[in-house]
Chains A and B, each alone.
Chain A
Amino acid sequence: MAEESADAEPAPRRKRKPIGWSMITIVVLVAISATLVWRRDGFGGVLEILTHDLALFGGILPRVFAGCLLGAFVAEILPHEKVSRSLGPNSGLKGLLIGAAFGAILPGGPFTAYPVASALLTVGADFGATIAMVVSWTLIGYGRAVAWELPIMGTDFTLWRIVICLPLPVIAGAFGRFVYVRIYSPRSEAE
């Protein structure tokens, strides 16, 4: 699998995502939900949610821009051979641990985690290490725990929750790798 990425050009450009089935499903779901809201609360209800969400949308746009820039710069400055060696398919337990540690310390919210994870995939990390990173960000990352979980759920619950979750990112990454090599033949991963 490692030889495969060798025939890609030295500086891989991220492919723009085509409109796929996921997006179509979302559009259908949203249309159904909006119709249900309209039938229940009338046009006013639809408009109220729209204005509220537009405000939210305006608020997060600058962060999304920052996240995109972060992802692009990270993809540029990370040495590709090094990433594919330390986070690639053959990086073993160490790669999963590095991915998990990276996810745990990554600052910011989803607007940084996902662009950076996407950049890692682009520069040679495999699904397993990237899964470890994303799961670690979501379960162990301190951002959400400090801002929301501690005040609402209490210190005792939050700390035990994090301790119990500590091994999970590596388990998910290892499981992901185990499944990945079995369902995707080396040929099909020409991405």
Chain B
Amino acid sequence: MSAALLIDIILWGSVIGVGFIAYRRGPKIALASFREGSWDFINIVPRIALGVLGSGYIAAVIPQEIITGWLGPNSGWLGVATAALAGAATPGGPVIGFSIGAVALKAGGGPPQVLAYVVAWALFAFQRLLLWEIPFMPARFVWFRAAVSIPLPFLAAATAMAIGKP
């Protein structure tokens, strides 16, 4: 069984589960929620379309070599800062993000720097922000969330330096 199929089963299973709970509160409530969700979907489709179609073009003009260059065998806090920036600027999905991290590790990048890169990628990768977070969440929340997350890659790198892992 492929991972995508498993995700779909868990996803639709959860939808049916919460839908059933809503239905037991009353068919009217469930129908209203269903309509609400469908309207959200219709509202969000143009934004998702813009995110999916648009981020492909943005990714195409940011070559991966630039990102890998930023992740060179820098050391120290400047390296961590560059790694955090590189994580935010990395185009593409998880395969690209983690592959760049793996390449940087093999090419002699320091583990704290690579850790900062992976954490920053998870928190700030512009493609996920544009494609998913902004269409679904209030924009005010997204910017606020990103702003208060800025110290996190540095905290992670500091912890890694302190305990000497990974």
Contact = CB atoms under 8 A, between A and B. Distances in A.
B122 A139 contact: yes
A179 interface: yes
A14 interface: yes
How big is the B interface, by class?
35 or more
Given A68-B38, A73-B15, A49 B56 contact: yes
B139 A60 contact: no
27 contacts: A17-B47, A23-B50, A27-B50, A34-B57, A45-B60, A54-B53, A69-B19, A71-B136, A76-B30, A76-B33, A107-B10, A107-B14, A108-B7, A110-B133, A112-B11, A112-B14, A113-B132, A114-B133, A130-B141, A135-B145, A139-B119, A144-B122, A149-B118, A153-B118, A160-B160, A171-B151, A176-B145
Given A53-B53, A134-B145, A152-B99, A70 B138 contact: no
Interface string A56-88: 110011111111111111111100000000000
Contact of A171 (B51, B136, B145, B152): B152
B152 A168 contact: yes
Interface residues of A, number: 86
Contact of A148 (B41, B98, B147, B166): B98
* Residue with the highest number of chain A CB atoms closer than 10 Å, among B29, B30, B141, B156: B141
B37 A36 contact: no
B22 A77 contact: yes
Given A68-B38, A138-B122, A149-B98, 13 more contacts: A17-B43, A23-B47, A29-B54, A37-B61, A56-B52, A68-B37, A108-B11, A127-B145, A164-B165, A168-B152, A175-B151, A176-B144, A179-B148
